[in-house]
Chain A
């Protein structure tokens, strides 16, 4: 059964509004949720699933580039969370743990697929028509995403975890099970490519 207090997870800090403090509070709450799940609590699992579904869907879409396989890998990930909640090591964050499971599952799934994936060129046209400026913005955004999609899974993962999921580089190293310098280097190369892409586009305009 769930037991133990949250106080151990919350260290006193000087600045209570700092993002780090808020993140610690959220992490302590998720750890509590995981203890309920370890005790077989379905409602707690549903709550965690709903919390993570949007993030994991997006993460897996970006890492795998195969939308049809996302739900399967996501559910496999959450099944591991359900089965292994009791083994969660409270020294890392719940999100780091879940994302590392998802990342491993995604890499395995990518290996299973032999088909080469081309970046999705059609989706821009399929979006609902909006004001012209907004449409142009979305179009540009899609082009950038296509650039990211052409990178390796490792580079895509670092970008996605940094920009969209707001992960620290140390967390990313844990998720990807690699040294922190590798994370920094991957990010450095990825952003150099994106920067070049933006510069080329500016010249075209």
Chain B
């Protein structure tokens, strides 16, 4: 509770001090960021505090390789099927049999016992139709790149020349990512995003060379320039 007192008797200096961590991670609103910047120019205490926060963050971000998703996802899948049994029949179409979940097969057996045979036949027919329809939808080309669409096709947003996006292998260690970014000669303006992407700015004429260098790295999944055209 003692901390609450701070917010009631806050001086502008204290207000800025509190905002510094988010000034550092670039998430303040424009007005807030501007007021922090202005205050920093005249306050050596806050400048020193910002340096200290930067040092803490750097140490905090030093981390171990990121874990693999596949094994855990495989263990979750049977439970998704289990969910399908409690949803309305139309939803069940997306489900596949759960090979290893005892709970899932128990609940499925329970359902079959309670329902009349005709209904089951009808549901089976609808289910097969929907499996076919959903399968067709899922197998369409162009839908396989979902994880990386976030930055590659940013909904027609425009960027100035020299902007690029780079996505790293999720298993690449942090220090490797840092090394590659340094070697590329680009500046990071945002990231990492959820898809391990970073938005970079490269001095105009050096963009192609920087992209070449990035693409040569095995840990780089994608390195592309961002679009210039203004959407119609």
What residues make up the interface of A, taking CB atoms closer than 8 Å to B?
6-7, 10, 16-17, 19-23, 25-26, 28-30, 33, 40-47, 49-55, 57-58, 71, 74-75, 78-79, 82-83, 95, 127, 134, 137-138, 140-141, 144-145, 148, 159, 162-164, 166-169, 171, 181-182, 184-189, 191, 194-195, 198
A164 contacts B150, CB within 8 Å? Answer: no
**A38 CB, nearest partner CB in chain B, Å:** 10
Q: B209 contacts the other chain (Cβ, under 8 Å)?
A: no
Do A191 and B53 touch (CB < 8 A)? yes
Assess A184 versus B7: contact at CB under 8 Å? Given A29-B150, A30-B150, A163-B25: yes
Q: Which residues of B contact A95 (CB under 8 A)?
A: 194
B147, closest chain A residue (CB): A47
Assembled-state Cα–Cα distance A43/B151 (Å): 19
Contact among A44, A54, A185 for B69, CB-based, below 8 A:
A54
Interface segment, one of B34-42, B71-79, B102-110, B120-128: B71-79
Closest 10 CB pairs of A and B: A168-B27, A185-B3, A53-B69, A141-B62, A25-B154, A40-B94, A47-B146, A54-B66, A19-B190, A181-B7
Q: Is the CB of B60 within 8 A of A145?
A: yes
Query: Is there an interface contact between B7 and A185, defined as CB atoms closer than 8 Å?
Result: yes
Separation in Å of the B106 CB from the closest CB of chain A? Answer: 18
A189-B150 in contact (CB<8A)? no
A191 touches B72 (CB 8 A): no
Question: Known: A162-B21, A185-B7, A198-B55. Is A42-B93 also a contact (CB below 8 A)?
Answer: no
Closest Cβ–Cβ distance, residue A115 to chain B (whole Å) = 23
Chain B: CB-nearest residue to A94:
B194
User: Residue B83 at the A interface, CB < 8 A?
Assistant: yes
Residues of A contacting B: mostly: helix
* Interface contact tally, CB-CB below 8 A: 181
Asked if B17 is at the interface of the complex by the 8 Å CB criterion, the answer is yes
A189–B18 Cα distance when bound, in Å, is: 10
- Judging by beta carbons under 8 Å apart, are B93 and A6 in contact? no
Query: Which residues does chain A contribute within 8 Å of B151, judged by CB atoms?
Result: 22, 25-26
**Is A163 in contact with B60, judged by CB distance below 8 angstroms?**
yes
